Structure 1
Amino acid sequence: MENAALLNAIIQNAIDGIITIDGRGVIETINPAACSLFQYSPEEVIGKNVFYLMPPPDRGQHDEYIRRYQHTGVPHIIGIGREVIGLRKDGSTFPFRLAVSEVAFSGRKIYTGFIHDLSKQKEAEEQLRDYAAHLEELVEERTQSLKESVMALQNAKEEVSLSLEKEKELSQLKSRFVSMASHEFRTPLSAIQLSASLIDKYAQAFNSDNIAKHVGKIKNAVGNLTTILNDFLSLEKLEAGKVNPAFSTFDLVKLSEEITEEMQIIAKQNQHIIYQHTGKESVVNLDQNLLKNCIFNLIANAIKYSGENTFVEFNTEISDAGCTIMIKDNGIGIPEKDQKHLFEPFFRAHNTGNIPGTGLGLNIVERYTKLMNGYIEFKSVINQGTSFKISFNRL
């Protein structure tokens, strides 16, 4: 009795549904778990054929199983792992795994069906399939997007390559033109300069102010054109990467004195260049030609943008920290709004008016200075003047 009570307690409290049927398929017992699954009370199903809990076509197949069993004596559903569909009282269905055991009891055979609900498992599988399908769609979309991106990149690459090739051709064409123009223009300009000097010499006997005036204009025009050609040629070489600094040791003071003497010749009336050096040393290790070009440009600007009867201060200093070069004028100054663009190529401040220039000089100075591992600074106040300082730190 105790064992029977224990067995009954196990059946009544089992998580899975348990149903027993006789050889004709009539339900004899049903536990609470099975009642919950099928939504019936025991009284509603006991005594009824088990196909009552099956939807078509399983219901018809069950009748065939019973007839076959009655004829052969071998139940078709004995075993584990067969998935079937259950029919609830409300007409809804659910999947479950059915395991059937044959039990000999009181001289007859009964069959026990163990019912394991698969609803949550099937729902999870469905969600997994939906998620997998969604992932496949995303992968397909991403793959298509990637293909389009790769194709776009390939097209862009081809366009860029074509553009670079055209740019290279244009750059080479520009380089050849600038080089040709510089050399071709230099010859007639040299002839004009020489002729103007000869006219000036031969006209001295006539002591004519008008002749001297016009010869001076010719010389100034030739000088401006020569400067423009030199600026374009320097820019072309910088853009082509053809400028490589050649460092050497030279006397900075001697070079500065020579530059001062040369620039004084082109200074305006009563415009004086005052040179001063600070420090016991005078020797530096830089590219002499590049540095000379930088100083020439800065002093030429100081002369150009300052009036007559003014001073241009030209200072050099060599100390333990390094070398500095300062050029200061008392000219028109640079408007504050223009100062951030000052070193851009072809840029000229808005207050330059009719003063000739290409807007390349300061860009070339800055780039030459950087090539020599230096840096350039400036301060300017409108109508009060401008100062430029080139610095090279001692290595």
Structure 2
Amino acid sequence: MLNKEQDIFNVLFEAVSEGVIVVDDQQKIVSINSSIEKMFGYEKDELVHEKLNILIPKNYHAGHGDHFKSFLNKKEKRQMGKGRHLYGARKNGDIFPLEAGLNPFKIYGKNFIMALIIDVSERKKAEEELIHWANIFNESLNEIYIIDADTLKFINANQGAQKNIGYNLSELKNMTPVDIMAEKLGAKLAKILNPLREGKKKRVVFEDMHERKNGTKYPVEVHLQLSSLHTKVVLVAITIDITVRKKAEQELTHWANIFNESLNEIYIFNSDTYKFINVNLGAQKNIGYDLTELKSLTPLDIKPDYTEAQFRKKVQPLLEKKEDKLIFETVHLRKNGTKYPVEIHLQLSTFKGKEVFVAIILDITERKNYTKKLENTVDQRTIELKKALAKEKELNELKTKFLSLVSHEFKTPLSGILTSTILLGKYKLTEQQEKREKHLETITNKVHYLNNILNDFLSVEKLETGKIKYKYDNFKLSKVVDEVIYNANMLLKVGQKIKYPENIDEISLIQDEKTIELSLSNLVNNAIKYSPENSVIEIGIKQDAFHTTFNIKDNGMGIPEADQKNIFNRYFRAENALLTQGTGIGLNIIKSHLENIGGTITFESKENIGSTFVMKIINEVLL
């Protein structure tokens, strides 16, 4: 090209703002302007005489030659923005979108193409962002409505809104927000919009109920603000279906109520510092601290039996995930200083994204009291059972003694009767009458003895069945004493004497006379039986305004201390009296009789020294 022509091109190139490239029919760059230098990052001398491919991304090189030849043959101009998407390659390797307007021309018989290049990176970026937001608008699961700020008619609604509300876009364009509000209150909507229209707020957020085309209703949270669309003022409403949130809030409220209304104590505390974070009302009421006070405390402040080291060791299995839950018993300390036993259910949880301990506390005071009471009852029953077993053992021993005793007591007199009967058969002569009478007396005495034993057994049976009837009369006590002593004199051993009581002639009683005689006779006879020869049996009687007391004292063998507790038990006989005739039921009978008529019987005794029995009766039985 001539220098003159080159000067013309240079002036022309620099006069336009677009990038200008001139290439010949071999795709060699003939000339560029400064805009191209800035656009592609090359100096002019780096591009002139280079192939056009230097400015084209490598992945487009293969097809570019054919496109170039085709365009050159057609020799048609091409406007910018038409045709394929084009990309350029900068010196630093960056690829960027561009538009090119192509103008073929011919000078001095040579073909050239002048390309006007525009960098459309920003425009493409804006278009992509616009497409991105359009996609967000349409693909958003939230409902988005564009509303005419004047007429309140819907202008647009995304797919999420159309799907959830049930109306399509054509239907919605004939409606206003009032038509989908469950309450259908235009005044309510106007009140919501006023702060926006008056410029007091840039955005309002409120909750409402929307009504679908099928009549179902659902809760929503609406974010409403003013915007513009094609120079027109519009309202943009982003509507969130909060059905799930409302259910979650209801459930949360439900659990919060359970938390606070639970009668058990529930504590939430930090897993690192152990500081209490929240405590339900049941815990606050029982422990005595309010929530503000508790937030400055830790479990160690209410667990007097734990040191910090002990507590950390206790909860370590939870922190190390070796255990899901710990259950243990301890003691809690109230604000007022009182203590109470608790059962603790402790586990890890999360609260506001942080790891916390949740402790559910059961006040087991009643359980402990019941357990203690049960243990005491078991101990008491064990003691009673041991006593019963011991008693049964004693009774078995008494029964054994009784059987042995009865066998002996019946066998001896029966043997005597049999012997006397046999001898009577041998004494047939008149001069043997004295011997016959002696044996007849022996038989009579033995029969009386056996009769007395049987009477004692019958008395026991009557006392047990309550068949005894007492007859209360007024009588002189001296009459009873005389009768007892008279009969006892026939039982006295060699040298034995009975000391008669003094000053009893004026003593009278209103009592059962036979019972008094039986009881006194039994005691006097026992004193004779268990005392040695040449001893004295003393009878002492005193009367006051209410009672008459009998003291029968002997100097006999006495009762061993170990046997004294059983002396009034039926069939019991002391160890030192087993070889002496007796049934062991006499004292038991008179004790039962005396108790029935309001009397008592006690004794003091020392082995080998003697015994004193004290019988005390009331003077007058009230009839």
Q: Supply the distance in 2 between the matched residues of 1:338 and 1:239 (Cα, whole angstroms).
A: 24
| Alignment correspondent of 2:560 | 335
Higher relative contact order (CA 8 A, sep 6+): 1
Contact 1:224 1:356 in 2 (8 A): no
Q: Structure 2 length as normaliser, TM-score?
A: 0.37
Question: Residue 486 of structure 2: SS of its match in structure 1?
Answer: helix
Classify 1:230/1:102 alpha carbon distance in 2 versus 1 (closer, same or farther; 3 Å): same
Q: Does the 8 Å CA contact 1:272/1:312 hold for their aligned counterparts? A: yes
Residue in structure 1 matched with residue 235 of structure 2 by the alignment: 108
After TM superposition, list the pairs within 5 Å mapping 1:237-252 onto structure 2.
237-252=462-477
Pairwise CA distance, 1:343:
1.0
Which of 153, 164, 170 is equivalent to 1:65? 164
Q: Report the CA distance shift for 1:366/1:109 in structure 2 as closer, same or farther (over 3 A).
A: same
The 1:123–1:370 alpha-carbon spacing in structure 2 relative to 1, beyond 3 Å, is same
- What corresponds to 2:580 in structure 1? 355
Which 10-residue stretch deviates more, 258-267 or 372-381? 258-267
Aligned match of 1:235? 460
Please give the residue correspondences for 1:1-395 in structure 2 after superposition, counting only pairs within 5 Å.
Answer: 49-50=141-142, 64-65=163-164, 68=167, 70=169, 72-73=171-172, 75=180, 80=209, 98-100=219-221, 107-108=234-235, 110=237, 113=240, 117-118=248-249, 120-123=252-255, 206=432, 218-278=443-503, 281-393=506-618
> Contact conserved, 2:210 with 2:219, CA < 8 A, in 1?
yes
Q: Secondary structure at the match of 2:584?
A: coil
Q: 1:258 to 1:280 in 2, by over 3 A?
A: closer
CA contact (8 A) 2:511 2:619 kept: no
Which deviates more, 246-255 or 267-276?
A: 267-276
Q: TM-score, normalised on structure 1?
A: 0.55
1:221-272 per-position Cα deviation (integer Å, ceiling 9, x unaligned):
3343122101101011111101132221110112111111111112223322
Does structure 2 conserve the Cα–Cα contact (< 8 Å) formed by 1:25 and 1:49? Answer: no
SS of equivalent to 2:501: strand
The CA RMSD measured in Å over matched residues stands at: 4.5
Counterpart secondary structure, 2:541: strand
Match of 2:112 in 1: none
Change (3 A) 1:80 1:302: farther
CA gap 1:373/1:61 in 2 versus in 1, 3 angstroms? farther
Change (3 A) 1:241 1:272: same
In the alignment, the residues of structure 2 paired with residue 365 and residue 263 of structure 1 have an alpha-carbon distance, to the nearest angstrom, of 17
* More helix per residue: 1
In structure 2, the CA distance between the partners of 1:80 and 1:320, relative to structure 1 (3 Å rule), is farther
State how far apart, in whole Å, the 2-side matches of 1:235 and 1:112 are. 101
Structure 1 residues 69 and 237, CA gap change in structure 2 (3 angstroms) = farther
Residue 271 of structure 2: aligned partner = none
Task: Using the TM superposition, give the Cα deviation of residue 279 of structure 1 relative to its aligned residue in structure 2, in angstroms.
Answer: 5.7
Give, as a single letter, the amino acid of the residue that structure 2 aligns with 1:255: V
Question: Are the counterparts in 1 of residues 553 and 611 from structure 2 also a CA contact under 8 Å?
Answer: yes
Structure 1 residue 61: Cα displacement: 9.5
Give 3-state SS (helix, strand or coil) of 1:277's partner: coil
Distance 1:342 1:360 in 2: 10
AA matched with 2:252: K
State the AA in 1 paired with 2:523: L
Give the distance between the partners of 2:170 and 2:257, measured in 1 at CA: 40
Shift of 1:366: 0.4
Identity over aligned residues, as a percent? Answer: 30
Aligned positions, number: 268
* Shift in Å, 1:323: 0.4
Q: Deviation of residue 301 (structure 1)?
A: 1.3
Is the alpha carbon distance of 1:252 and 1:48 closer, same or farther for their aligned partners in structure 2, counting shifts above 3 Å? same
* Aligned counterparts of 1:392 and 1:72: Cα–Cα separation in 2: 115
State the shift of 1:309 in Å.
Answer: 2.0
Shift of 1:312: 1.6
| Deviation string, structure 1 residues 190-239 (Cα, Å, up to 9, x no partner) | xx79x99xx7xx9996597x878766654553343122101101011111
Which residue is equivalent to 2:313? none
The answer to whether the Cα contact below 8 Å between 1:26 and 1:49 also exists between their aligned partners in 2 is no
Measured in 2, the distance between the counterparts of 1:309 and 1:267 equals: 10
Cα distance in 1 for residues equivalent to 2:210 and 2:481: 103
Secondary structure, aligned partner of 2:514: helix
Checking the alignment, whether the CA contact within 8 Å between 1:203 and 1:211 is kept in structure 2 is: no
Q: 3-state DSSP class of the match of 2:457?
A: helix
Deviation at 1:69, TM superposition (A): 5.7
Cα shift readout 1:287-338 (whole Å, capped 9, x = no counterpart): 0011111112111211221222222212222223420112121111111111
Residue type at the aligned position of 2:235: R
Larger displacement relative to structure 2 (374-383 or 262-271): 262-271
Once residues 479 and 619 of structure 2 are traced to their aligned partners in structure 1, the CA distance between those partners, rounded to angstroms, is: 20
Shift of 1:103: 6.2
Q: Which amino acid aligns with 1:241?
A: G
Check 1:382–1:217 CA distance in 2 against 1; reply closer, same or farther (3 A cut). farther
> Helix, strand or coil for the counterpart of 2:592?
helix
Q: Is contact 2:507-2:543 (8 Å) kept?
A: yes
Q: 1:64 to 1:368 in 2, by over 3 A?
A: same
Q: 2:142 touches 2:160 (CA, 8 Å); kept in 1?
A: no
Confirm or deny: 8 A CA contact 2:540 2:552 kept in the other structure: yes
Do the aligned partners of residues 127 and 205 (structure 1) sit closer, same or farther apart at CA in structure 2, a change above 3 Å counting?
A: farther
Q: Which stretches in structure 2 are left out of the alignment for 5+ residues?
A: 1-134, 144-158, 173-178, 183-206, 212-217, 227-232, 264-409
CA distance 1:291–1:75, change in 2 (3 Å): same
Alignment CA distance shift 1:364-1:103 (3 Å): same
Following TM superposition, by how much is the alpha carbon of 1:75 offset from its aligned partner in structure 2, in angstroms?
4.9
Aligned 8 A contact 1:325 1:389 in 2: yes
3-state SS in 1 of match to 2:545 = coil
Which structure's CA Rg is the greater one?
A: 2
d(CA) in 1 for partners of 2:607, 2:469:
36
